[in-house]
């Protein structure tokens, strides 16, 4: 059965590499391309370039960290991309994590869900085209855009309260490293509760899994260590994995069970079966597949994976 709700998250090391990856993904038939914003290129900057050089692929951020950014500036960036590629952008935002926010930016990481709630409200108001007069705890502003840019705004979510908040104030929730049964048991009901508070249907759940097309276990472990190895050292992820049934997460490293739960690996055929299984077991509406590159030829591995995703 063909899947229309699966996209690719691309993690290249330069703007040029990410742009080339998006362009290749479109030609390969991938429905949507997703980018993070961390130590590498800025996702919205990359998407501005991609908006002008692609014609059909949908673009999404998963996520743009909010602490070092002002909602007016983010709204302006979204509006500019929307003008180049109307209807082709979903904006994922989130608080990131304390070590990154405090260690890298020197900002206080306090009451992240409160911060997300306020940022989301201001941003959605601006993107609607309304004049926003907001006098909150974190932002005080009176501003508007030149016109509407109604891109969906989704929130990152990891634990129960963040899924509830996304259901209440955003257009959906996007996950990271959450096992499929955890999403079905924790995320879906929490998203439902939050949506009920806002008096609306359950908002979309964007599941996020990693994919590594290799049958070489050593190559898999090396790829996971290089790209994801720091996550089990973060307390929020440790506790999520513990709640998902992996108490060994408190050892601050990936176990084989944790890897198998969140990294879909093996041959193309095996990985395809795992995609269907993840969708069935998670209850998510959309699935983002983060390309995890194994082997020495990074470009070849990326293209192989994008061709496979496009073929789904």
Number of residues written out for the chain: 312
Q: What pLDDT score does 209 carry?
A: 97
CA 178 to CA 241: how far, in whole Å? 8
For the record, the structure tokens of 93 come out as 């935002």
Q: Does residue 154 sit in helix, strand or coil?
A: strand
Give the Cβ contact number of residue 185 at 10 Å: 17
pLDDT digits (tens, 9 = 90+) for 122-141: 999 999 999 999 999 999 99
Residues forming beta bridges with residue 264, ordered by sequence position: 211
Instruction: Sort strands 204-212 and 172-174 into parallel, antiparallel or unpaired.
Output: parallel
pTM of the model: 0.95
Lookup result for tokens 């229309």: 4
Which range has the worst mean pLDDT, 29-33, 35-39, 147-151? 35-39
Banded pLDDT at 296 (limits 50, 70, 90): confident
C-alpha 214, offset from chain centre: 23
Q: What pLDDT score does 306 carry?
A: 98
pLDDT digits (tens, 9 = 90+) for 67-122: 999 999 999 999 999 999 999 999 999 998 777 877 788 888 889 999 999 999 99
CA 207 to CA 280: how far, in whole Å? 11
Q: What pLDDT score does 101 carry?
A: 79
């Amino acid at each position: 059965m063909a899947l229309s709700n699966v996209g690719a998250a691309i993690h290249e090391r330069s703007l040029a590499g990410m742009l080339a990856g998006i362009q290749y993904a479109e030609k390969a038939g991938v429905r949507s391309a997703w980018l993070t914003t961390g130590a590498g290129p800025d996702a919205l900057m990359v998407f501005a370039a991609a908006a002008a050089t692609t014609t059909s692929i949908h673009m999404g951020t998963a996520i743009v960290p909010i602490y070092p950014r002002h909602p007016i500036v983010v709204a302006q960036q979204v509006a500019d991309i929307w003008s180049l590629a109307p209807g082709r952008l979903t904006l994922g935002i989130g608080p990131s994590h304390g070590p990154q926010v405090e260690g890298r930016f020197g900002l206080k990481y306090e009451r992240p869900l409160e911060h997300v709630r306020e940022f989301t409200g201001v941003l959605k108001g601006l993107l609607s085209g309304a004049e926003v007069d907001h006098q909150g705890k974190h932002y005080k502003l009176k501003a508007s855009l030149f016109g509407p840019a109604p891109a969906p705004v989704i929130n990152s979510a990891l634990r129960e309260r963040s899924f509830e908040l996304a259901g209440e104030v955003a257009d959906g929730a996007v996950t990271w490293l959450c096992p499929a049964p955890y999403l079905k048991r924790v995320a879906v009901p929490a998203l439902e509760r939050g949506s009920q508070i806002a008096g609306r249907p359950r908002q979309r759940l964007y599941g996020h899994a990693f994919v590594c097309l290799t049958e070489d276990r050593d190559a898999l472990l090396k790829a996971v260590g290089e790209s994801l190895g720091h996550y089990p050292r973060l307390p929020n992820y440790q506790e999520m994995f513990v709640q998902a049934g992996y108490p060994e997460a408190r050892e601050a490293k990936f176990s084989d069970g944790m890897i198998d739960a969140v990294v879909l690996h093996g041959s193309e055929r095996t990985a395809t079966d795992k995609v269907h299984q993840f969708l069935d077991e998670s209850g998510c509406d959309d699935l983002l597949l983060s390309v995890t590159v194994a082997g020495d030829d990074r470009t070849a591995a990326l293209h192989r994976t994008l061709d496979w995703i496009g073929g789904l």
